[in-house]
Structure 1
Amino acid sequence: MLEDVLFKGIKRPKQRKKKELQQDIKITGEMLPQLESFVDLRTKCVFKSPRLVQKVVIPYILNGKNICVESFTGSGKTLSFVLPLLELGIDRRVDALVLVPSDCLGNQIDKVISEIENNFEICREIPLAPTKGNRIVICKPEDLLNDSKYTLSFTHLIIDEADLMINKNSSGLFKSLSTCIDLQLATVCVFSATMNKEVERILEMFKEITKIYVSNKNSISHRFVFGTKDNIKHLSLRQIIEDGVEAPCLIFVKDVDTGRKLSQIIPNSGSFDGQESVLDNFRLKKIWYLFTTDVLARGVDFINVKSVINYDYPVCKTDFVHRAGRVNRNTTGQKVFTVYTIEDFNKLWYVVDFIKENGCRVEEHIEKIINKSKKSEIKKV
């Protein structure tokens, strides 16, 4: 096969048997029948059958219900709101606003829409006037507040990756939405892989909202790798790759400059700093190892990622959840590696928490480091 030719020379582990994706669902609020098949929709897409989040969510949007959806990274959230919007547009006018945290995610949503036959105008800037036809406006919250000088009447408000946009520093920004959007006229849909207290407070702005939680019960395969100190941990990265990590592989770093420097010493690698061409090369497997910041941990669609390496330690548990989630689009035994140094000892606990929650074994020496760090913190107090 072509893939085998592309990766010839890479030491690859034996092929594992495919595991079925095991998911669980919890709904708080109104219950609606699930969508059984895409055949039930007049809007035609290239996908054969809906994923669980799509089966559950699509009927709520079709019936004009306010929803908050928490579902793991890679579960198919984007299509779960794009498809019903396009479906509704067949019979009536739809003017939807999709709020995203970054232009990169906006581009991804734009691409998903363009791959499905539709009669919608797609705008990446705030419109100056209402439309008589169907329209989807994709923008960042700050663009909306900066550019809109009057109250906009949208039929739908979609907030994607909500926890990335709504936090202690931005909760006031979202409360200001009511000044430029008539929330009483819009169907509100909030999506994210994780939630926080600030998101919960914002949800209080919306009436009769149904909460949908989709969890992934498949355990991840994870390994900690000791990088000693920051100035020499690149040696640990090279060792991981030489030992035969499966490619394509996403490698997360703290900033673009770090990614650029590392891509110069790792063969068949590239660094992402916003160019779509780099993403295309990674998807086509022209690049085996892609260095990126957390901007690619959210929303952007990858169906071929086999491994994730956390070269720079994640700042918080939420960041780790999204990084690790990049391999969830395949269920064939992918692996997540986390490089840690002496400076990271007191931060190991939040990654370990997530690993345990997902049924993955934690190495004994890591447990000892965490216990020792806790004792040191107590002594300081």
Structure 2
Amino acid sequence: MSFKTIFAIVSLAIFASALPSKRAVCSQGRVASNAACCKWFDVLDDLQANLFDGGECGEETHESLRLTFHDAIGFSRSNPRAGGGADGSIMHFAETETNFHANLGTDDIVEVQRPFAIKHGVSFGDFIQFAGAVGVSNCGGGPRLQFLAGRSNNTFPAQDLTVPEPTDSVTAILDRMGDAGFSPNEVVALLASHSVAAQDHVDPTIHGSPFDSTFSTFDPQVFVEVLLKGTLFPGNGSQPGEVLSPLPGEVRLQSDFAIARDSRTACEWQSFVNNHALMVSRFEAAMAKMAILGHNPRNLIDCSEVIPVPSKAASNSAALPAGFSMADVEASCNNAAFPTLSTLPGAQTSVAPVPPS
């Protein structure tokens, strides 16, 4: 090896060692791979203590996760004026966007979250996605979502009718989501969020009634319960966007019912019934895609390490609610047999409304 070659290698090594390291020690001795992520540890501490009630999978988690979608889906590949995607516009222009029919009920969580974002000096777009990721990590068996930081506060209002509604047909939902870049299977994956969802506006007569009976854990239960034969309305009769439910106190969305039985989505829906790990991995992938709508990920910084590691799932499979049998399942996938499920012991399951926060 020539002297010039040795000199070049040594010079390069010295130059590289002189470059500032992006790795940093943050508050409480926590380490980030990029110093820009340190502030998110402080946001995490604040959220867990003062928004999520010490790390619970409660009402604020449900609302925060919902907000990630309602902000991001204001995006269209065919119409750039439809919205900027995951850009915080629903918080910037709350008086406009939270009054869209599909966004009713998001105003409360927007107003609760905004002071946190301002306090920590982070963009609304970043904050909304971060809060959703932190919140769902508090749910048993939940996903650990990717979090990329660096979205700008430069945005504009999203247009109305970019958020699918429970009254929409499966074709309308798949077309709208396809226009934003999502396949039918990814739409099904995103609906895993309904395992930890609650409602106030589909049927306002029963505050907080969840979509499924285990709404505080991120599990496949919603994927079997939506396939059970419906027999009742839990509130004051049928409401727009609601269909018969199998369980007292449980609201079943018309769109969930239809997607679970549609030939384009039924097999993907069924695949999650007895495979929690598959449901979580596909939800994580679809959410990673949704969270950067309107952005180039190469311009963002990966701060996923700040997101807490969720507790493990109690089971990899759903179960039939107490009082039900396999005869109550309306299996709709023509390409695979429906898995045999056990039935939970005890009296027939019913769902109590979620108390107001």
TM-score range (shorter-chain normalised) is under 0.3
Normalized against structure 2, the TM-score is what?
A: 0.28
TM-score under structure 1 length normalisation: 0.27
Query: Whose helix fraction is larger, Structure 1's or Structure 2's?
Result: 2
More strand by share: 1
